[in-house]
Every structure is written in C-alpha cells, then in structure tokens.
Chains A and B, each alone.
Chain A
Amino acid sequence: MSTAGRIVRLAERDRVQVHFFLDGEMRHALAGDTVLTAMLASGHTLRQSEFGPEPRAGFCLMGACQDCWIWQEEEKPRLRACTTLVAEGLRLRTTLPESWP
C-alpha cells in the first residue's frame, strides 16, 4: 500500500491509527510506527542538512548514523526518529525552536 510519502506499507497494516503534529499540521500514523516511519508515511524527507542543500531521510535505522534527529515543540529534547515510537499527540518540528538556547 503506497502512502502519500516515501514509504510503502507492505505488512502490519491493521493497527490503530494515531495522530501527531508536524510543524503544527496534523498527520496520521499507525501505533507502533517509529517517528521515522510516521513522518515518511506523509513526507519524503525528515530534515534539512546543516551542511549542504540536500534534505535527509535517515540512513541506518539502527541508531548508529544519527541522521534522523528531529526537533520537538515545547522545549522538549530532540529525538532520534528511527529509535523512537510515535505517540498520540506528539508535536514535532522540522526547524530549530526559537526558544532553544
């Protein structure tokens, strides 16, 4: 099953739907999705590189490459998208929060 984003769901499709917010906009995902899966179900990339023009979408999916760190709202710490499960109501942002010191 193709999604609106990068990923194709090949199995495990009968899971409860959850909602999260990306830059204030509500998105759908399935319970048990990692943040990486959830974001790439509705988009093609995760973040902008600090060092070049190419956006990034993760690389290793096992917590080794650190290519998938995502900002959260409300002064919460950044999270690693490949090793964090999406939670109902999670609020993510693609850019640095202004309140960040």
Chain B
Amino acid sequence: MNEASPPRIVIVGAGPAGIRAAATLVEAGLHPTVIDEGYRAGGQIYRRPPAGFVRTPKQLYGSEAAKARALHALFDRLAKDGQLTHCAGSSVIAAHGGQLHVLGEDGVQVVGYERLILATGASDRVAPIPGWQNAGVYSLGAAQIALKAQGVALGRRIVLLGSGPLLTLVGAQLVEAGADVAAVLDTSPWQQQVRGFSGLAARPVVALRGMALRARLGRRYHAGVTLERIEADGQGVAALRWRDAGGRQQLTSCDMIGMGWHLRAETHLADLAGCAFTYDEQWRQWLPKTAEMGRAGNGVYLAGDGVRLLGADGAEIAGRLAAAACLADIGYQAPSISADLRKLVRLERFARGLARAFPWPAAMVRALPDEAIVCRCENVTAAAVREGTDFGSGEANRVKSLSRAGMGRCQGRYCQLAAVELVAAQAGCMPEAVGRFRAQAPVRPAPIGAFLRED
C-alpha cells in the first residue's frame, strides 16, 4: 500500500490534539495538511500572543508552561521543515463527500481529503441570565484570551460566574495579573462539589492545584449562589444581582462579567462530515460517537475536546490515538498505544468527577423568566422558545425554525443547550428526547464574494 502515492490527510485544528496528531503522522512519513483558524498554532488553551509580546511562557501558561512550549516548538519545527502544510487563519466552513470548503483571505478554496482528523476543540458552555445580552458580558474563555493574548482585562471591575475549573483558574489569573475581581460566583454548592471528589482523586496533583488556585480567590469566592439579573446602563454592564448560599440578596457593581459552565464540544464539522451523535448524560450535551481511538467511520477521526471533554492533556493523547488509528487504517505502521489508552481512562475518570462537581445549571435555565434573552445573536426570548414548543412540538429543530433560536450568526453555539433545556421543560421530557440542532454549512459566516472566483 505504501508504494502508491500517500493518502491526503487533513487535520482541522492546531491545538494540543491537532498538533499531536500531525506529529504522529509526520513520524510515520506522511505529510498532513493542518487547517487552523489561529495565526499561530497552539489552540485556545495554549494560545500565543501576537509577535512582539514579551511575557514568558511561565507567565502566560503557569504550571502548564512546559507543555505549551513543547507543543509550540514541535509544531513550528514541523512547519519550518516543510513536513506539514499549515493553513493558518483559515476556517473550514463545510465538509461533504471528501471535500472541505476552506475560507481564507483569498476566498473559499476546496480541499479534498481521503482521511480527516477533526480536532476542533470546545468553547465555553454558557447559560443565559436575564440581561446577558448587554455589552461587557463575556465568556470565561474570552476573559482568559484577553489576558493571555492581549495582556488586558475586559473591564475595571470584574465578576466571574458559572461553575467549573475555568471559573477558578481565570479568577486566579486575573487576580494575579492585578485586575479588580469583585466576586467569583459558583452556582455549584459545596455539597455538590464534594460529590465529584472520588473522580477528582484520579489526578491528585491537578485537584490540589485547583484547590490552591481557589484559595487565592479568598473571600471573593462564593459557592452555591443563585444568579438573578445583570443590570446595565448605556455603556453596558453596571451590576449583578444574586443571592448567596444563605438566600441573602446581593448587589455587586461591576462593568464586566465573565460566564461559563465548563465546556461545550465544538461539533459542527463532525456533524457535517456525517458522524453519529449520542447524548452524554453527565456532560448534558450531544457528543459525536467514536470508537476508542477516535474512529468515527467514513475516514473521519475525532480527537480532543470536540469529542470528549478531557482538557489539554487528554487532547494530546487523543490526537496521537486518532493519528495512530488513521495510520493503521491506511496500512502504515502505527505507534504503540497501550500506555496512552491507560492514561485516557484515568483522565476520563477525573473529567467525570469534574462534570459531577460542577454541573450544568439546568434548574436555573428552566426557571428563566419569559422576557429573558436565550439567543444573544437575535435576541430570541425564553417566551419565544416556549411558544415554539407549544406550537411545534418538543423537537429541537422544529422549535429552532419557529423561534429562530439557534439560527443566528453563532449558529446555536451559545444558545442551543439552554434552548433545548427550555424545550424539555415546556414539553415535560428530558433534554435527550428533544434532540439537537442540526449543523448547517457554512459553519462560520462567509460573504458571498468569498465564493466568487475569477477563473
């Protein structure tokens, strides 16, 4: 098989999973194409600032600096030596029948593939709070990117809210950098956090590091809060109304809010590439279905947070495994995988512990007042989603068509889990019975002109 011209392998995403997948293929003598939206490889968690910035990896990535540096150096070397083709600043906007539509500066190009490795990562899983459509409300990931890649805080007085490891991490990073963090509000009560403990014990060092970061937040941190409303003036966010674990009313003035409840896998391309999906009870979201090493069928492989939310370390492993599966399938010698598979089991146990300790705020979403915005793109209200459910039955895509929730410019990335939760509440069923919004190409906005080429 090796005598024939080597198969064209395309990797989407140059974060930890994509970089490790690429390196594994290069080691086997192949030349993959890596398409990434970033201008410099690294992904979100190991995102690099633009040229001319001077902070050290230690300052940027803390305890994970060595991992970040190793990945950046590896990718840069492979790209410099011409061992892979790096399409930077490019978005894959469609995938069908062995072809990708890639939007770059020169418009849309068609890139064919025989094997496709999707390492598309994840973004913040957000839940609507009344008033969240105002300027100054950001995702936790946004607050971290602003600090890491730009050296800025997105407001003078900051409140972070939600639940999950990023809440603590971003809070500690902002405090350390000198930002004014007024409060860090966790919707998960202490007794819930303790329930995740047996899983978290699978990675004691990481768990302890998290506790140390939490300690740095001091009295800013509150567990078991109830979030009520974001107040705003003409310039955006002005205050947050919330209740503490004892039920006492609190009003914290702030001009920036960062929110997030762990992560939501980025699955649009997997959907377009024909992958099957399954509802994950613990993560409360639909995830693409794969075999152990990321095989999804039809020559498609998935790796990283876009398929299983294990974080950066898990993504590196999953990237290697997906590439190994791909190599085996095309008749190449694949590296040994038994150690990686064992590590993955431990990471999975830890991630399940996190999911249990810091859950999705289902009850909060279900109780959203009618006038609250669910879809930030087009200001679709909770009432519209509820009416869509009454009128069109409790199926996700019917409600999407009727209410337009999920049809805005982000294509449901930031509203669909909340919308589905609302539909389930209204229809009196579980979210998995509601289904999921189908992905539609283009998965990023593309101007018509990008498709017009003068041949």
B16 interface residue (CB < 8 Å to A): no
Which residues of chain A are near B392, meaning CB under 8 Å? none
CB distance from B367 to the nearest CB of A (A): 22
Q: Is the CB of A61 within 8 A of B37?
A: no
A contacts with B: majority SS: loop
Q: Is the CB of A51 within 8 A of B154?
A: no
1/0 contact string of A60-101 vs chain B (CB within 8 Å): 111111110100000001100001010000000000000000
Q: Is the CB of A59 within 8 A of B139?
A: yes
Q: Is the CB of B154 within 8 A of A6?
A: yes
Q: Which of A9, A62, A65, A67 contacts B151 (CB 8 A)?
A: A9
A8 interface residue (CB < 8 Å to B): yes
Q: Which of A9, A50, A83 contacts B152 (CB 8 A)?
A: A9
Q: Considering the chains assembled together, what is the distance between the CA atoms of A6 and B373 in angstroms?
A: 23
Q: Considering the chains assembled together, what is the distance between the CA atoms of A49 and B142 in angstroms?
A: 19
A54 interface residue (CB < 8 Å to B): yes
Q: Considering the chains assembled together, what is the distance between the CA atoms of A59 and B236 in angstroms?
A: 12
Chain B, residue nearest A63 (CB): B37
A27 interface residue (CB < 8 Å to B): no
Which residues of chain B are near A46, meaning CB under 8 Å? 135
CB distance from B132 to the nearest CB of A (A): 9
Q: Is the CB of A66 within 8 A of B410?
A: yes
Q: Which of B135, B139, B147, B377 contacts A66 (CB 8 A)?
A: B377
Which residues of chain A are near B150, meaning CB under 8 Å? 12, 32-34, 37
Most buried by B among A34, A51, A77: A51
Q: Is the CB of A6 within 8 A of B255?
A: yes
Of the candidate stretches B355-363, B431-439, B443-451, the one touching chain A is B443-451
Q: Is the CB of A65 within 8 A of B410?
A: yes
Q: Considering the chains assembled together, what is the distance between the CA atoms of A8 and B147 in angstroms?
A: 10
Q: Considering the chains assembled together, what is the distance between the CA atoms of A77 and B105 in angstroms?
A: 11
Q: Which of B135, B141, B153, B379 contacts A10 (CB 8 A)?
A: B153
CB distance from A71 to the nearest CB of B (A): 13
A22 interface residue (CB < 8 Å to B): no
Q: Is the CB of A59 within 8 A of B138?
A: yes
Q: Given the known A-B contacts A55-B236, A64-B266, A65-B413, are A10 and B152 also in contact in the complex, defined by CB atoms under 8 Å? A: yes
Q: Given the known A-B contacts A57-B135, A58-B142, are A13 and B379 also in contact in the complex, defined by CB atoms under 8 Å? A: no
Which residues of chain A are near B449, meaning CB under 8 Å? 77
Q: Considering the chains assembled together, what is the distance between the CA atoms of A63 and B150 in angstroms?
A: 15
A56 interface residue (CB < 8 Å to B): yes
Q: Considering the chains assembled together, what is the distance between the CA atoms of A55 and B337 in angstroms?
A: 51
Interface size on A, residues (CB 8 A): 44
CB distance from B75 to the nearest CB of A (A): 19
Q: Which of B52, B146, B234, B256 contacts A31 (CB 8 A)?
A: B52
Chain B, residue nearest A56 (CB): B135
Chain B, residue nearest A32 (CB): B50
Which residues of chain B are near A57, meaning CB under 8 Å? 135-136, 138, 154, 236
Q: Which of A12, A50, A69 contacts B49 (CB 8 A)?
A: A12
Which residues of chain B are near A66, meaning CB under 8 Å? 377, 409-410, 444-445
Q: Which of B37, B232, B255, B444 contacts A54 (CB 8 A)?
A: B232
Q: Considering the chains assembled together, what is the distance between the CA atoms of A6 and B256 in angstroms?
A: 9
Q: Considering the chains assembled together, what is the distance between the CA atoms of A77 and B104 in angstroms?
A: 13
Q: Considering the chains assembled together, what is the distance between the CA atoms of A28 and B414 in angstroms?
A: 32
Q: Give me the 8 closest cross-chain CB pairs, A-B, nearest first.
A: A12-B151, A11-B151, A57-B135, A61-B142, A66-B409, A44-B235, A51-B379, A52-B379
With A37-B146, A45-B135, A64-B410 known, 16 other A-B pairs at CB within 8 A are: A2-B156, A10-B179, A11-B59, A15-B53, A37-B152, A40-B154, A44-B236, A45-B235, A49-B133, A52-B133, A56-B135, A59-B138, A59-B414, A60-B139, A61-B138, A64-B414
**20 A–B pairs (Cβ distance < 8 Å), ordered by A:** A6-B154, A7-B153, A8-B155, A11-B151, A12-B49, A12-B150, A12-B151, A32-B53, A33-B150, A34-B150, A50-B378, A52-B133, A52-B379, A59-B414, A61-B142, A62-B44, A63-B444, A64-B413, A65-B414, A83-B89
